[in-house]
Amino acid sequence: MNAKLDEVIERAVIANRLDTITKEMGYALERSSRSPIFAEACDFACGICNGDGDLVSQINGIPILAAAGTFSIKEVIRKYSGQVEEGDVFIINDPYQGGNHLPDIGIITPLVVEGKVLFYCVSRAHHGDIGGSVAGSYNAKATEIFQEGLRIPPIKLVSKGQVFNEVMDLITQNVRNPHMLQNDLWAQIGANKIGVVRLRELLYNYSPTRIKGAVGYLLDHAERLTRQAIRGMPDGDYTGVEWVDDDGFQTNPIKIKVTVKIKGEEMMLDFEGTDPQVKGFVNSALVTSTTAAWIGALWALGPDIPRNSGAFRAIKVLLPKGSLVNPHEPAPVTLSTLTPASEIISAIFQALDSVAGERLPAGFGRYCGPSFYGIDPRNQEFYVGFAFCALGSGGGIAGRDGYPYMAPLSNYGGVRAPNIEANEIQYPHLTLCHEIEMDSAGAGMWRGGPGIRYSIQFNGEPTNIVMFGDGMKVPPFGTASGQPGSLNRVELATVDGEKISLASKESARLLPKGTVLTVVSSGGGGWGDPWRRATESVWQDFLNGVISASKAKQDYGVALSKEGVDWAATDELRLMGYRM
């Protein structure tokens, strides 16, 4: 009995230590990086895989990046089997060889013990530019991956502690901010090195055999919990459909269809019926689509299941070749980690709403905003930036309103909003407005989070913008009689007073100095009948500027004035089911 208890405690200690190591890796990466996309937005993920490439811990980072680390490591194992040595570091970004999309560069560092790889530390991070025909690498008019940037297959960047400078030079010579990218790669390498050092410290207390045994148990335990949760759902086929606005070339919406098949303790996510791959960059290669499918399924199965490779064993993902979610090479895929990854998750939510409804939120806003680049007149240096301050909001869920400033769904709040003052130091623009947009939240018993209005004035000489995103035609869905959220809107105002509405996917546009960009991001969908929302909550939303008095009356049946709630009128409205 005591021996058994000791074993349980030991496993728990090792599991928590692995999670702590991934957290420390993330902290190191954030604090040692140079680019705002790392240091401010924290658009990265860190994880630990075992010697077979199975994901063991992924506490720190963006969901759509974290689980993808296992694919990258397995590509390294496939290519370098028997050639992995202590002191090696690998680099990879190719979406058709274990990557997400080209801006997300993976750095992989093995821990070799007695001639065998015990662990791999992996950091995957979004770099501001990876070359290609458009700065920032979001080329809305790309028709093949070669136009999106530099493809890096799994390759050694460091061998036995010695950097291959030729490889580093090849990469940095193909990007627009070589010094920043190189510094951020060193930050990733350093974060992994800390992970390896901490894992070695773990070996001082536990032998490799005991650690491997504990890791094997953790993976098996996650599988057991997953199968148990699947058994708790009724057998059957459940279908969900979500739509992407367009691909920047065709104007028709693009369908993502999933049939979730539950039988016993097995779950299959079958995307047969999804539209064929398209010309534009909203295609999603196998790694991103599979990762998104895992996120959606595990969200529906519950929060108590560890997000590791053991949990993935009971979830099969079928992605038809040549479809939007598994295109033939060399289809462009840069937008995939935002759209359609979020819509893959959303389709799964809608499929499983009837069997896991109270665990699943209504629709989230979709990312839609520009990258901007040019020459900073203050220092004559080239810059590339992104509109991270224009994030949309989450959908409502049973028991609480949707979180504001939380979208897109594939990142689930992992991307932080940069500090406004820091942004103005880093880029030659002035923030004019950054506030909640009234009447943008989807109405519900638990409403969606409100959207954001964000306006900046560009002062670069020159400034170029490229629009990328979605959600200008398809709003976040409502659930359980909740109403949809709002749509994204983006507008330019020139110094001459002209107003220009932008599409969600546009090629580079040159802006005169003084041009103002305004992004109004979408609010999340509502959960539950709005007329069942607590009257006091409607009143507080009115006081906080989330809804107007007319919206309160129209969507919630609540009569308001500046003095407060008109209870008699409200009772009459709700009794009669009045709607404007």
Q: What is the DSSP string of 319-370?
A: --TTBTTBPPTT---GGGGTTTHHHHHHHHHHHHHHHHGGGS--PPPPPEEE
Looking at 166, 187, 205, the residue that finishes a domain is 205
Q: What is the pLDDT at residue 580?
A: 45
Q: Give exposure, 455-478, as e/b (b: 16+ Cβ within 10 Å).
A: bbbbbbeebbbbbbbbbbbbbbbb
User: Within this chain, do residues 266 and 410 fall inside the same structural domain, yes or no?
Assistant: no
Q: What is the pLDDT at residue 60?
A: 63
Is 354 a domain residue? Answer: yes
Helical axes 69-80 vs 286-301, angle rounded to 10°: 140
Cα 50 to Cα 549: distance, rounded to the nearest angstrom: 57
User: Within this chain, do residues 544 and 424 fall inside the same structural domain, yes or no?
Assistant: no
User: Within this chain, do residues 201 and 70 fall inside the same structural domain, yes or no?
Assistant: yes
Cα 109 to Cα 195: distance, rounded to the nearest angstrom: 9
Cα 2 to Cα 485: distance, rounded to the nearest angstrom: 55
Residue spans of the chain under pLDDT 50: 1, 579-580
Helical axes 165-172 vs 178-205, angle rounded to 10°: 140
Q: What is the pLDDT at residue 7?
A: 84
Element (H, E) at 56: strand 55-57
**Best CA proximity match to 186, nearest among 31, 381, 415:** 31
Is 117 a domain residue? Answer: yes
Cβ–Cβ under 8 Å, residues 77 and 116:
no
- Residue 233 makes CB contacts below 8 A (sequence gap 6+) with 262, 352, 355, 356
Is 270 a domain residue? Answer: yes
Q: Give exposure, 133-158, as e/b (b: 16+ Cβ within 10 Å).
A: ebbbbbbbbbbebebbbbbbebbbbb
Number of domains forming the structure of the chain = 4
Looking at 358, 373, 393, the residue that finishes a domain is 358
User: Within this chain, do residues 263 and 396 fall inside the same structural domain, yes or no?
Assistant: no
Q: What is the pLDDT at residue 3?
A: 64
Surface-to-core class of residue 435, CB atoms within 10 Å of its CB (0-12 exposed, 13-18 middle, 19+ buried): exposed
User: Within this chain, do residues 343 and 294 fall inside the same structural domain, yes or no?
Assistant: yes
Is 213 a domain residue? Answer: no
Name the CA dihedral angle for 46, 51, 56, 57, rounded to a multiple of 10 degrees: -20
Sheet holding 315-318: strands in order across? 236-244, 254-263, 266-270, 315-318
Surface-to-core class of residue 390, CB atoms within 10 Å of its CB (0-12 exposed, 13-18 middle, 19+ buried): buried
Cβ–Cβ under 8 Å, residues 166 and 100:
no
User: Within this chain, do residues 560 and 518 fall inside the same structural domain, yes or no?
Assistant: no
**Best CA proximity match to 488, nearest among 360, 385, 387:** 387
**What are the two backbone dihedrals, phi and then psi, of residue 439, each rounded to the nearest 5 degrees?**
65, 30
User: Within this chain, do residues 57 and 130 fall inside the same structural domain, yes or no?
Assistant: yes
Side chain identity at residue 95, one-letter code: P
Is 224 a domain residue? Answer: no
Cα 458 to Cα 320: distance, rounded to the nearest angstrom: 44
230's tokens? 């699947």
* pTM, to two decimals: 0.96
CA 71 vs CA 98, 146, 240: distances in Å: 5, 22, 26
User: Within this chain, do residues 334 and 416 fall inside the same structural domain, yes or no?
Assistant: no
Looking at 165, 190, 205, the residue that finishes a domain is 205
Is 219 a domain residue? Answer: no
Cβ–Cβ under 8 Å, residues 394 and 402:
yes
Is 155 a domain residue? Answer: yes
User: Within this chain, do residues 172 and 293 fall inside the same structural domain, yes or no?
Assistant: no
Summary count for the chain: helices (H), strands (E): 14, 22
Cβ–Cβ under 8 Å, residues 90 and 185:
no
Q: What 3-state class would DSSP assign to 119?
A: strand
Longest dimension (CA), the chain: 81
Question: By residue range, what is the domain housing residue 312?
Answer: 232-358
Is 220 a domain residue? Answer: no
282's tokens? 């909203």
CA 289 vs CA 64, 293, 398, 469: distances in Å: 9, 6, 27, 17
User: Within this chain, do residues 492 and 408 fall inside the same structural domain, yes or no?
Assistant: yes
**Best CA proximity match to 348, nearest among 279, 262, 278, 229:** 262
User: Within this chain, do residues 369 and 500 fall inside the same structural domain, yes or no?
Assistant: yes
User: Within this chain, do residues 336 and 408 fall inside the same structural domain, yes or no?
Assistant: no
Cβ–Cβ under 8 Å, residues 128 and 139:
no
- Residue 38 makes CB contacts below 8 A (sequence gap 6+) with 29, 30, 44, 125, 184, 187
**What are the two backbone dihedrals, phi and then psi, of residue 111, each rounded to the nearest 5 degrees?**
-110, 110
